[in-house]
Amino acid sequence: MQINTCTRVQSFLLSSGAATTGRGRNGRPARHTPTTSGALRAPIPMPFTCVNETSSAFPTCLQAAAASPSPPPIAALLPSSSERRPAAVPSARCPEYFRYIYSDLSPWREAGITREAVERARGMATFRLVVVGGRAYVEKYHPAYQTRDVFTLWGILQLLARYPGRVPDLNLMFFCGDIPVVRAAAYPDQSEAPPLFMYCTEDAALDIVNIRPWAPFLEEVARETQRTPWLDREPYAFWKGNANVCGLRRDLMRCNKGSDSGRDWNARVFNQNWGFANRNGFKDSNLAKQCTYRYKIYVQGRGWSVSEKYILACGSPMLRVDTPFLDFFSRGFVPGRHYWPIDAARMCPSIKFAVDWGNAHPAQAQRMGEEGSSFARDELSMDYVYDYMLHLLTNYARLLRYRPTVPENATELCLESMACPADGRAREFMMESMEKYVADYEPCALPEPFTADELAELAQRDMEMRSKMKRMEEQDKET
């Protein structure tokens, strides 16, 4: 009876075209790889050097970026077209989730953002970022969890180097926590809300979603997934993380085989002791090597969790436990195409049903995994990550009703001042994630904002898809 029930999903599940390899749906390569072949001009390298690795002197920021209140086209900063290689689809349209940039900034669209509004976010912010004349400055207020602030700022420096002269003058506050803190209910006039950037948002929040660039994880995970084809993977749902941070994760632990229920819910979940993992050099915590199960579970922590995009990249269907927290790209997900929604109120039975259905329909389940990994590979390529940052900051800066200036207590940041003094894993990560070349193409073209009707249609589509999948599960339970 289960197979007959699940068969009904075929008419609506994964109705899009087949997943592609190497290119996004806009035809843009997933990552522009510079080449020096033929007679074409070599790409423009980013200058970077640590003058004296053995010196104790703190590196200074000597290189000035081109100041540009109204950023010129990138072509104006590069050699003539006869000297450089052709740009790869310079007019590519940005992915649809870029359109939420307008939504995130909509509270200030009419009145703009005053200096006073920015200052109201100071008590909540981890740091202030100021860009003036293409140079970056930071004023730190509160300690961040681990090195979140360091690599958020490192990503901004990569953007400035990648698109020289394109990032306008700006002044923003950034919060490195997991849970949105600017509540819409506290501001009847939303234009009075303090604009605060962070990693996620939710429907009841006004925080502006920003992102950090991720390391060359996709290349590593592609190699790992080729070693274990989907059908050869363990036919269960996998999760590993710190289960002690919230009740939802503790509930997930009850779905494990051998738990108090005495049932096998098709879940294999493991509690991660990060203290031990740190002492052990994270040898057993490589996310790229955790793609050996057919299904991967995503569950929030205290709030937003950075793990979502890593789980998505595995090529295993993501079983996504319902969460109100949204990061910059998850608003582009379609249930039944990119992930399988898991009812948080019935977590264990929902996981078991999803796995049973996938194992009974391996071609469709594998297709869902491919759609998710294709999204991670193509829609979240580093080109698009930096383009999203550029469009978000550019549109934010246009709303400022004052001219940003460098705060008295701010410290200037540059590649040398951050990377040269770093050591250990921090230095290794910086070198691996550092952009090597100036972009020789225009950023993707930002689509128009969503209309109210389009947003309503998207919400209706998702609701209908989730309802159909939930009915499948309920019908299976009845049989």
Q: In the chain, what are the domain boundaries?
A: 74-214+382-449, 216-380+455-478
Q: How far is CA 128 from CA 104, 123, 144, in A?
A: 19, 11, 13
Cβ-proximal residues to 279 (8 Å cutoff; 6+ apart), any chain: none
pLDDT of the residue at 70: 42
pLDDT of the residue at 129: 95
34 C-beta neighbours (distance < 10 Å), count: 14
398/102 Cα distance (integer angstroms): 12
pLDDT of the residue at 218: 73
pLDDT of the residue at 369: 95
Q: What is the mean pLDDT of each successive set of 10 residues along the chain, which is 479 residues long?
A: 31 34 41 38 63 56 50 36 39 90 93 95 92 94 79 88 93 84 83 85 62 60 83 94 87 83 87 60 59 92 76 92 86 93 94 96 96 90 90 96 94 87 78 79 93 95 92 79
Residue 122 · residue 136 · CB < 8 Å: no
Cβ-proximal residues to 446 (8 Å cutoff; 6+ apart), any chain: 94, 98, 99, 101, 391, 395
pLDDT of the residue at 290: 74
- Beta strands 411-413 and 135-140 are antiparallel
Task: Look at the domain 216-380+455-478 and name its fold.
Answer: Rossmann fold (3.40.50)
Tell me, what amino acid is at 255?
C
268/255 Cα distance (integer angstroms): 8
pLDDT of the residue at 260: 66
275 C-beta neighbours (distance < 10 Å), count: 9
Of 204, 197, 202, residue with least CA distance to 122: 197
First to last CA, the chain: 7
92/90 Cα distance (integer angstroms): 6
286/312 Cα distance (integer angstroms): 15
Strands (E), 74-163: 127-132, 135-140
The half-sphere exposure of 150 on its side-chain side, counting CA atoms within 13 A, is 15
Burial class of residue 440 (count of CB atoms within 10 Å of its CB; 0-12, 13-18, 19+): buried
465/461 Cα distance (integer angstroms): 6
15/342 Cα distance (integer angstroms): 20
Residue 208 · residue 121 · CB < 8 Å: no
Q: Report residue 37: phi and psi, to 5°.
A: -70, 160
455 C-beta neighbours (distance < 10 Å), count: 14
pLDDT of the residue at 461: 94
pLDDT of the residue at 195: 92
